[in-house]
Amino acid sequence: MARWRPDAAKRLTEAALDLFAEQGYENTTVIEIAERAGLGKTTFFRHFPDKREVLFGGETMSGLLADAITAAPAAATPLEAVAAAMDRAGREVFTPARHERVAARRAVIAANPELQEREALKGLGLIAAMTDALRRRGVPDLPSSIAAQLGALAVKIAYDRWIDAAGGEEFGAVAQRTLSELRAATALV
Amino acid sequence: MARWRPDAAKRLTEAALDLFAEQGYENTTVIEIAERAGLGKTTFFRHFPDKREVLFGGETMSGLLADAITAAPAAATPLEAVAAAMDRAGREVFTPARHERVAARRAVIAANPELQEREALKGLGLIAAMTDALRRRGVPDLPSSIAAQLGALAVKIAYDRWIDAAGGEEFGAVAQRTLSELRAATALV
């Protein structure tokens, strides 16, 4: 079997999720993950610095949200640009086909404080990436920070709502509704 | 010299700050910190789980902000309660007498990614503590989260402004002005 595959990172993440669900995060080794994916340990470490990181896809999400904010129409308000980023996340990351895997990932993270810590830091990375992207659009510092924080809060709340929703509503729609609720709630503080 | 002292945690933090400034965070051991404070290693670990934590004072700041929010008048809006907490932080933590030490602490943290990570996680702890305190006042979930996020952002921005300000303005005043600016900026997102 060829060791090089263009989708190695994705295969490793899927193998890891399966193994974590079957036998627990702590009981799973990097070698087992690589073997399950039909790859070697060296390939694993070419894609991820450690076992934790296999669940966090490098900087994919930060980059995707920042790119979408940059690509939003020039006339869009800060929150409209953030809403466009939510939509992109729904089309490219939190897709209907991945719903079950995202739910499994959340369960693995919820069971492990070390993973929760990594997730919290990734959340801060999201905020920083969105803040920078908004500033590059010419939005002043404070509104950039606030819109990015509201965006990150919307992602976090919508992530749970989307996983828990039975109806199969798209992530982008859930996130945009959440963002509108947050926008309205700023008047209540 | 007696090993038990009521102010051991404070002495250890001050000794650590001095040593970090003199010889760097990485080059300083827990034993050196304890010795400089006139205490033993065992005492150190009774107060702090590791070397990093000596700069973060356990849960002091989270608890202080949450207590102040709880103690705010019943008629206070969420942001007024948060503003009262900023004032408390200025009276009890970021006092004029500690200005120089807080500046030294910031410099140590800025030079070390491991400490920056710990500080980022502590920031998330602040948000969680303030959110919970606001909910216990009967504020609904979303406004509680938003007010806590704005409060944490105000603490972060005001911390830099207060350290960098030459005039010696009190932290509480700087933070409350920052919070007002953030409140106004929510209209611009």
CA B100 to chain A, closest CA, distance in angstroms equals 27
Task: Give the tens place of pLDDT for each residue, A126-181.
Answer: 999 999 999 999 999 999 999 999 999 999 999 999 999 877 799 999 999 999 99
Nearest to A77 among B121, B124, B189 (CB): B189
Q: From residue A179, how far is each of A60, A66, A80, A154, A184 by CA, in Å?
A: 21, 17, 10, 5, 9
Find the residue in B nearest to A77 (Cα).
Answer: B189
CA A79 to chain B, closest CA, distance in angstroms equals 6
- What ipTM was predicted for this assembly? 0.83
pLDDT attached to residue B114: 85
Chain B residues interacting with chain A (CB cutoff of 8 angstroms)? 77-79, 117, 120-121, 123-124, 140, 142-143, 145-147, 149-150, 153, 181-183, 185-186, 188-189
Q: What residues contact B106, with CB distance under 8 A and at least 6 apart?
A: B159, B160, B163
Alpha helices, DSSP H only, in chain A?
A: 8-23, 30-36, 41-47, 60-71, 78-92, 99-110, 113-136, 141-164, 171-185
- Test A150 with B153 for CB contact under 8 angstroms: no
pLDDT attached to residue B4: 56
pLDDT attached to residue A1: 47
Find the residue in A nearest to B156 (Cα).
Answer: A145
Chain A residues interacting with chain B (CB cutoff of 8 angstroms)? 77-79, 117, 120-121, 123-124, 140, 142-143, 145-147, 149-150, 153, 181-183, 185-186, 188-189
Contact between B83 and B179 (Cβ < 8 Å): yes
Average pLDDT score over residue span A99-126: 90
- Test B146 with A185 for CB contact under 8 angstroms: yes
- Test A120 with B117 for CB contact under 8 angstroms: no
Dist. CA B90–CA B96, nearest whole Å = 8
Average pLDDT score over residue span A107-125: 89
Alpha helices, DSSP H only, in chain B?
A: 8-23, 30-36, 41-47, 60-71, 78-92, 99-110, 113-136, 141-164, 171-185
Contact between B188 and A140 (Cβ < 8 Å): yes
Q: Which residues of B touch A127 (CB under 8 A)?
A: none
Q: Which residues of A touch B146 (CB under 8 A)?
A: 150, 153, 182, 185-186, 189
Residue A60, Cβ neighbours under 10 Å: how many?
12
Q: Which residues of B touch A189 (CB under 8 A)?
A: 77-79, 143, 146-147, 150, 183, 186
Average pLDDT score over residue span A104-128: 90
3-state secondary structure of B74: coil
Task: Give the tens place of pLDDT for each residue, A11-34.
Answer: 999 999 999 989 999 999 999 999
Place of tokens 């606001």: B134
Average pLDDT score over residue span A63-71: 96
Task: Give the tens place of pLDDT for each residue, B66-81.
Answer: 999 999 999 999 999 9
Find the residue in B nearest to A181 (Cα).
Answer: B142
Contact between B8 and B43 (Cβ < 8 Å): yes
CA A18 to chain B, closest CA, distance in angstroms equals 29
User: What mean pLDDT, rounded, does chain A reach?
Assistant: 91
Dist. CA B76–CA B63, nearest whole Å = 19
- Test B189 with A153 for CB contact under 8 angstroms: no
Q: Which residues of B touch A121 (CB under 8 A)?
A: 117, 120-121
pLDDT attached to residue B2: 47
Distance from CA of residue B30 to its chain's centroid?
22
pLDDT attached to residue B5: 59
pLDDT attached to residue A2: 47
pLDDT attached to residue B59: 62
3-state secondary structure of A38: coil
Dist. CA B135–CA B145, nearest whole Å = 9
Q: From residue A126, how far is each of A59, A120, A134, B16, B55 by CA, in Å?
A: 9, 10, 12, 33, 26
- Test B189 with A146 for CB contact under 8 angstroms: yes
Q: pLDDT tens, position by position, for chain B (189 residues)?
A: 445 556 898 899 999 999 998 999 999 999 999 999 999 999 999 999 999 999 987 568 899 999 999 999 999 999 999 999 999 999 999 999 889 889 999 999 998 888 888 898 889 999 999 999 999 999 999 999 999 999 999 999 999 999 998 777 999 999 999 999 999 999 999
Find the residue in A nearest to B79 (Cα).
Answer: A189
Name the residue among B159, B116, B45, B99 with its Cα closest to residue B12. Answer: B45
Q: Which residues of A touch B78 (CB under 8 A)?
A: 188-189
pLDDT attached to residue B1: 47
Q: How many residues appear in chain B?
A: 189
